[in-house]
Structure 1
Amino acid sequence: MNGRGHSLFPLIVLTLLAGVSVWLDRITQQEPVAKTDRTRHEADFTADKLTLRRFDPTGKIQYVLVADSMVHYADDESTELVRPRLNYLNRPEPVWVESNFATVSKDGATVVLTDDVFLRRAAHAGKPESTLRTEAMTVWPDDEKMRSDKPVTLTQGKTVITAERMESDNIVGEVRLQGQVRGTLYRNTPTPKP
């Protein structure tokens, strides 16, 4: 009997060790940490009634961006804005740009406005108010440049011009129209006859 007890002793110890190992493994395991799936396009934060002011190197306000709401996405660091309004206030003739929706790039350098884009330049130095309407426009706010690859309608006083595409540089005051440009031009002030 004594010999038989010695032969079962290693088996009992091994069984106890196996049981303790399984028990230790189970109690030391933590809940799996949920990793953020960066392949899914999910919002990581939102804001309502957003106002952003950009200052030029001299400390004057270059532009103000206002939106009804903002949603930021972690996967591509993009931002979506609902009813954005971009106001350039540092010019003799202020410029206002608005739309129903916009997407802002990761670095904030590019804003793509969509859904009923409207631009208005205030009257200045004898020039009447100017407007532009299109369905989509890309804006580089810091450079004050804009481009639309959708049809545009520009007005200035009674003048109305349509085009298939448009590029604009607000700093140098240049607008380039391309593709099927049509319009009716009116002089702002009549030229005296000689």
Structure 2
Amino acid sequence: MKARLRRTWDRLSLYLPVLLMGLLAMGTWWLVRNAPVLRPPTTEGAPRHEPDYSMKGFSVKTFDGEGRLQSEVQGLVAHHYPDTDTLEIDQVRMRSISPEGRVTVATARRGVSNADGSQVQLFGNAVITREPLRQRDGKLLPRLQFEGEFLHAWTRDERVRSHLPVVLLRGNDRFTADSMDYDNLDQQLQLRGRVHGVLQPPAR
């Protein structure tokens, strides 16, 4: 009996490595089949210049802490572009009121504003008008108007610049130039290129 068991065990031991190899191969196949597939890393391309939201026939107003109107932006159509964080407006009209009560109005066929509205570029029949204002000392600031195909305005710094021909109207006076840089806070105006001016005598 012992001899028979020994012979049986000897025969099984001959096939044991084959059985183990078979089990190992089946286990490896199962692991490969059920293992999660690793996807190659995807590289995000540069953001496209496409709007993420749009507005039509809109009007946006901002107020100060005491409820006084600070600015108003109107337009036919506006598109916001996340890649540059800018707002492009067709048939734009902007109106702002300074703490001193100075009213400035800007219009153009198209406008591009940065996120906080501190810079505005106006394209096509651009006009920026500062309405006349009588100061506390009684001095009258005359009406000031800029006209051109392109005007770049810094609303907080009260600056207007253009590298294209412009027309400047100050009261009854009229100036033209190939380019311009105006700083209202420093009361400086630089006209460059072919500059022409017509000064009218003050009204009595």
TM over 0.5: yes
1:189 lines up with 2:197 in the alignment: no
1:102 lines up with 2:111 in the alignment: yes
1:16 lines up with 2:34 in the alignment: no
Residue 107 to residue 21, structure 1, CA distance change in 2 (3 Å): farther
1:179 lines up with 2:187 in the alignment: no
The sequence identity of aligned pairs, in percent, is 22
Unaligned 5+ runs, structure 1:
none
Contact 1:80-1:102 within 8 A present in 2 as well: yes
Q: Which of 52, 74, 94 pairs up with 1:44?
A: 52
- How far does residue 134 in structure 1 lie from its aligned partner after superposition? 0.8
Contact 1:101-1:113 within 8 A present in 2 as well: yes
Q: Which of 100, 108, 112 pairs up with 2:121?
A: 112
Structure 2 residue aligned with 1:135: 149
Unaligned 5+ runs, structure 2:
1-10, 135-139
- Match for 1:61: what amino acid? L
Provide the C-alpha distance between the structure 1 equivalents of 2:186 and 2:56, rounded to a whole number of angstroms: 34
- Match for 1:13: what amino acid? L
Q: Which of 17, 26, 38 pairs up with 1:7?
A: 17
Structure 1 residue aligned with 2:5: none
The number of residue pairs the alignment matches comes to 188
Question: How well do the aligned residues superpose, as a CA RMSD in angstroms?
Answer: 3.4
- Match for 1:85: what amino acid? R
Max Rg structure: 2
Provide the C-alpha distance between the structure 1 equivalents of 2:185 and 2:61, rounded to a whole number of angstroms: 18
Q: Which of 58, 64, 89 pairs up with 2:72?
A: 64
- How far does residue 73 in structure 1 lie from its aligned partner after superposition? 2.5
Normalising to structure 1: TM-score of the pair? 0.73
- Match for 1:160: what amino acid? R
Normalising to structure 2: TM-score of the pair? 0.70
